[in-house]
A and B are shown apart, each in its own frame.
Chain A
Amino acid sequence: MATSSSRPYQGKLRYGAPNHEGRIWLFMRLTGLVMFITVVFHLLYMHMAVGVENITFDNIDARWSGPAGVFWRLFDASLLFIGMAHGMNGVRFSINDYVHNKILNFLLTAAVYGLGLFLILLGTVAIVLGVGGLGNLFQRLMG
């Protein structure tokens, strides 16, 4: 059925069984909604309330310490995981839009996902061990 209209769709939306890309569409909207709260808070809090000059080693250490530190580490972990998942998928959309060569498309996507997973690993190590945590661990292992 071919329809031609300059007007937006007026009928009732019909949802069938969602396919893979349909679930990704929903995933992008749900993560976007969550990050509208968390990322905008993180951005404005860090830049306007704390001040980037004051995000020093000692201040990150203080923020990540104690019972409140557990909350902030979980909050920062949510930024890391949700942000990277949403971002990697956005890069995949862009690759699919412009790179139509199947082999190149696969290689680029694999590179983006590989880099993304590696960075998620780095971020997780930093959040779990804390600032200076990796250096301290190395010193202990070296005796």
Chain B
Amino acid sequence: MAALVASIYRGISYRGAEGQWAWILHRASGLGIVLFLYMHIVSIFIAAIGPGPYAWVHATLYTSPPAKVLEVFLLFGVLYHAFNGMRIIIIDFFPALGRYQRTIVRIELALVVIVLVPAAIITLRGIF
């Protein structure tokens, strides 16, 4: 716990710019996706039990307005984790590109936004 608090303090005080924030977002999105995945597996297991219980899960956890807002976070989390993971793989196998890592982070964020915006609009269309 103390290590976690110290890590958060260092995270705020250390000005590592793009690379540091890319790492923090990768970890946060990864843990968020794992939590969603737990819920996702349980909800599909409930579908295996029968149509009645699944209808409740579908209405509550997937299509209710709060779920739609959380869905946008999921879209961002998965897209960010996917594109940032590709950036990590590229830098790992072509270390010389580390020289342009700030530019690569910005290109990556632009790609995430380009895919995320239409997906988020489609997701939130229903609740407004």
Contacts and interface: CB of A to CB of B under 8 A. Distances in A.
Please classify the interface of chain A as helix (H, G, I), strand (E, B), loop, or mixed, using the class held by over half of its residues: helix
Interface of A: 7-10, 13, 29, 32-33, 35-36, 39-40, 43-44, 47-48, 51-53, 55-58, 60, 80, 83-84, 87-88, 90-91, 94, 97-100, 115, 119-120, 122-123, 125-127, 129-135
Interface string B106-128: 00000000010011001100100
A125 B45 contact: yes
Nearest to B92: A29
Contacts, number: 123
Interface in B47-106: 47-51, 54-55, 58, 62-63, 71, 75, 78-79, 82, 85-86, 88-89, 92, 95-99
Nearest 7 CB-CB pairings of A with B: A8-B98, A135-B50, A126-B48, A122-B45, A57-B51, A87-B34, A134-B48
B4 interface: yes
A108 to B, nearest CB: 12
Given A40-B78, A135-B49, 17 more contacts: A7-B99, A8-B95, A8-B96, A13-B95, A32-B88, A33-B89, A47-B122, A48-B118, A53-B63, A56-B55, A83-B37, A99-B3, A119-B41, A122-B41, A126-B47, A134-B49, A134-B50
Contacts of A123: 41, 44-45
Please classify the interface of chain B as helix (H, G, I), strand (E, B), loop, or mixed, using the class held by over half of its residues: helix
A107 to B, nearest CB: 14
Contacts of A40: 78-79, 82
B38 interface: yes
Nearest to A37: B82
A127 B118 CA distance: 31
Contacts of B7: 97-98
B117 to A, nearest CB: 12
Contact of A130 (B4, B41, B48): B48
A53 B58 CA distance: 8
